[in-house]
């Protein structure tokens, strides 16, 4: 029979110490749940696998020294690169995925500016883009020659065909199949969705929007002195050699009047994901240290309260309580304090969550609170066990020593 009411009465007599402990647990819950949430969000955004074979890909940045790179030259470049043995596919990309650069747009289903918009990242590509990245089309079709738009000074109106990621299609049209043939608007520009790719990491701009909201536009701007090509090899071991051959070929194509910068896609992805990854490690470290501090706090304060109540515990033992009873008593006390602390902590966590929301993250999912509560439960029980065991060893004779 668990004497809950006497335990609670006993706790009420030590209101101050008990409320200190409750406060500590509440603060810890708030901090722990929010920081874990932010840390895991960072992990999700920055260290998730790219879902494309980035160890087979590399990008080439070309900067022409004295002129622009027109479409014909770029096409000639990528077809000459494809003739190199070991290179499977190459295409033109205005920006490279994972580099943190891209165009951004706000997509609406109506041209009306008041309709809700979805922020998305966009890259101008050539029609071989999906082949090079090896992205499967789950609805609609891949790009065709006639989708390509090449522009210089005269602006081209009319709708541009785009291919979006499945996540983006689902976000606007509920499933990938529905998106095919529909139009979306970025300001006054009209896009028609002709294909949906399978899920992958997405272009990955450093923002609070999901990286998976990405789309490709088959478009080439003829006035730039700078372009990028993305090249896929058939085997990772061949990539270094392919890079050397690529440099030779491109210098030859442009009569050595270009500067070339090569980046391997997997290294590029790692580079741009490292700050986020380290930040999340910082947050996790703070959480771990906090956990340790709280563990010490709980065991220290339990030890102290036992010392203060030595006589009472001795009296209980003299009246027939076994060692086990004392331990259970202390564990129950601790659990009651913990539960009160967690209740206060949950409301404090929601209050603290507004700081996180202001940073652009969604609100705290309940799962983090549940995990925090369970971890704190385990933590506090483990911290209490040892002092409880020493309490159980208090001899009944203590009760009779003084009055």
Partner 1 sequence: MFIYHWQLAWRSLKKNPILCGLMVLAIACGVTASMICYTAYHVINTNPLSNKDAILFMLQTDSWHLKEAFSGKASNQMPDLLSYRDVTALMHSHIPLRKTAMTRWGGILSIPNSEAEPYFAKARINTHDYFKMFDVDFLYGSPWNQAADNEVQNLIVLSEDVNNHFFRGENSIGKTILLEGYLYKIQGVLKRDAQPSNKMQNIDTSILMPTEDVYLPFGVLAEREISSWDIIQRPGDLLEYSENSHQNLLKSGNLWLSYWVEFSGPKQKQEYEQFISQYIQNQKALGYYPRSLRFALSNATQKLNINGYSNGKFSMLTKFGVGFLMVCTVNCIALLLAKFLRYAPESAIRRALGASRTAIFVQHFIESSIIGILGAALGLVLTYTGLKYLHYEFSNISAENNFLIGNIADLFVLDAHILLVTVMASIVASLCAGIYPAWRICQASIAQHLKLQ
Q: What residues line the site for partner 1 (CB under 8 A)?
A: 16-17, 20-21, 23-24, 27-28, 30-31, 34-35, 38, 61, 63, 65-66, 99-101, 103, 105, 113, 124, 151, 153, 155, 186-189, 206, 219, 221, 223-225, 259, 261, 263, 268, 271-272, 274-275, 278-279, 282-283, 286, 289-290, 293-294, 296-297, 300-301, 304, 307-308, 352, 355-356, 358-359, 402
Least distance from partner 1 to the Cβ atom of residue 23, Å: 5
Cβ contacts of 52 within 8 Å, gap of 6 or more = 133, 134, 135, 200, 201, 265
Strand ranges (DSSP E) for 226-277? 226-233, 258-264
Least distance from partner 1 to the Cβ atom of residue 63, Å: 6
Q: Is the CB of 61 or the CB of 377 nearer to partner 1?
A: 61
Residue 204 near residue 236, CB atoms below 8 Å: no
Least distance from partner 1 to the Cβ atom of residue 210, Å: 17
Residue 216 near residue 50, CB atoms below 8 Å: no
Least distance from partner 1 to the Cβ atom of residue 243, Å: 15
At 85, list the tokens.
Answer: 């043995």
Q: Is the CB of 118 or the CB of 138 nearer to partner 1?
A: 118
Q: Is the CB of 135 or the CB of 314 nearer to partner 1?
A: 314
Give the separation between CA 250 and CA 131, rounded to whole angstroms.
Answer: 21
Q: Is the CB of 197 or the CB of 301 nearer to partner 1?
A: 301
Least distance from partner 1 to the Cβ atom of residue 133, Å: 20
Beta bridge partners of 184: 191
Q: Is the CB of 72 or the CB of 292 nearer to partner 1?
A: 292
Cβ contacts of 213 within 8 Å, gap of 6 or more = 118, 119, 120, 121, 165, 167, 168, 171, 202
Residue 73 near residue 247, CB atoms below 8 Å: no
Q: Is the CB of 38 or the CB of 321 nearer to partner 1?
A: 38
Least distance from partner 1 to the Cβ atom of residue 66, Å: 5
Cα dihedral value 79, 80, 86, 88, nearest 10: -10
Q: How far is CA 148 from the centre of its chain?
A: 34
DSSP string over 329-390: HHHHHHHHHHHHHHHHHHHHHHHHHHHHHHTTPPPPPHHHHHHHHHHHHHHHHHHHHHHHHH
Q: Is the CB of 307 or the CB of 400 nearer to partner 1?
A: 307
Least distance from partner 1 to the Cβ atom of residue 246, Å: 17
């Amino acid at each position: 029979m668990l004497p809950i009411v006497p335990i609670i009465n006993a706790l009420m007599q030590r209101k101050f110490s008990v409320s200190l402990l409750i406060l500590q647990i509440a603060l810890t819950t708030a901090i722990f749940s929010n920081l874990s949430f932010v840390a895991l969000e960072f992990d999700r955004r920055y260290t998730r696998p790219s879902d494309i074979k980035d160890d087979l890909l590399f990008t080439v940045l070309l900067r022409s020294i004295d002129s622009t790179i027109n479409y014909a030259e770029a096409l000639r470049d990528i077809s000459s690169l494809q003739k190199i043995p070991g290179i499977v596919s190459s295409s033109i990309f205005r920006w490279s995925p994972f580099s943190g650069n891209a165009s951004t747009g706000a997509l609406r289903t109506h041209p009306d500016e008041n309709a809700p918009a979805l922020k998305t990242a966009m890259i101008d590509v050539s029609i071989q883009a999906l082949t090079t990245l090896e992205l499967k089309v789950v609805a609609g079709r891949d790009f065709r020659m006639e989708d390509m738009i090449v522009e210089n000074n005269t602006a081209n109106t009319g709708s541009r065909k785009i291919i979006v990621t499945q996540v983006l299609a689902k976000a606007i049209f509920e499933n990938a199949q529905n998106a095919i043939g529909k139009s979306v608007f970025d300001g006054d520009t009209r896009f028609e969705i002709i294909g949906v790719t399978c899920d992958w990491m997405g272009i990955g701009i450093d923002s609070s929007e999901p990286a998976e909201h990405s789309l490709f536009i088959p478009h080439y701007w003829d006035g730039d002195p700078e372009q990028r090509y993305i090249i896929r090899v058939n085997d990772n071991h061949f990539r270094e050699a392919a890079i050397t051959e690529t440099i030779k070929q491109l210098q030859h194509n442009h009569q050595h009047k270009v500067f070339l910068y090569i980046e391997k896609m997997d290294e590029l992805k790692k580079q741009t994901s490292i700050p986020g990854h380290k930040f999340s490690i910082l947050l996790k470290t703070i959480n771990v240290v906090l956990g340790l501090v709280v563990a010490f706090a709980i065991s220290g304060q339990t030890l102290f309260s036992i010392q203060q109540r030595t006589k009472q515990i001795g009296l209980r033992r003299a009246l027939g309580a076994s060692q086990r009873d004392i331990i259970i008593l202390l564990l129950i006390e601790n659990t009651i304090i913990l539960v009160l602390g967690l209740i206060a902590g949950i409301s404090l966590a929601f209050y603290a969550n507004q700081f996180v929301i202001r940073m652009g993250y969604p609100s705290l999912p309940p799962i983090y609170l549940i995990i925090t509560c369970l971890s704190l439960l385990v933590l506090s029980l483990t911290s209490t066990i040892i002092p409880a065991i020493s309490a159980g060893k208090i001899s009944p004779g203590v009760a009779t020593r003084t009055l």
